[in-house]
Structure 1
Amino acid sequence: MSKQTITEKLPEELLVELQKYVPGEIIYVPKPKKDYQKWGVNSGGRKKIDYRNTLIKNGFNNGRSIDQLADEYFLSTETIKKIVYSKK
């Protein structure tokens, strides 16, 4: 998020209109919903977690217990259950 003055971004008429509602205040203008991305898409974090979850599911399907997987991946048994029993 870059900081620019509003006079650099908006037409004069819109600036005057905004001053009627929020004079001298800082406001945040969110992106349109269509431009949102899910968590971790840009950083690659989502891919890493999906890969880890695949390994956990494979381990469970190959006979590893939930307790073993929790110890191996440093997650709670409840989290492991959510992963191995999810439809995804």
Structure 2
Amino acid sequence: MTDIDAQFAKAHEEVQQLPERPGNLTLLRLYALYKQATRGDVQGDKPGFTDIVGKYKYDAWAALKGTAQDVAKQQYVELVESLKSGAAT
């Protein structure tokens, strides 16, 4: 396991133990970075207009298309660290 993989795994555990739930936009960013880091570019069809949450998740992930998985992992780690320090909400 590389250093970034270890940091990513640790950040994924820590994000679930945050004292406060992040705002919806931050949650979408976390979701998109996690999916990009673990699965790569967005896959599947975009959800229909009746699935609002699915559509937002899809769009957030699609916005990261072309981002390398290691870069997404690093951004995820940085975002979790900022949430832990209270810098982001």
TM-score bracket for this pair, using the shorter chain length? under 0.3
Query: With structure 1 as the length reference, what TM-score do the two structures score?
Result: 0.27
Higher RCO (CA < 8 A, seq sep 6+): 2
Structure with bigger gyration radius = 1
- Higher fraction of helix: 2
Query: With structure 2 as the length reference, what TM-score do the two structures score?
Result: 0.27
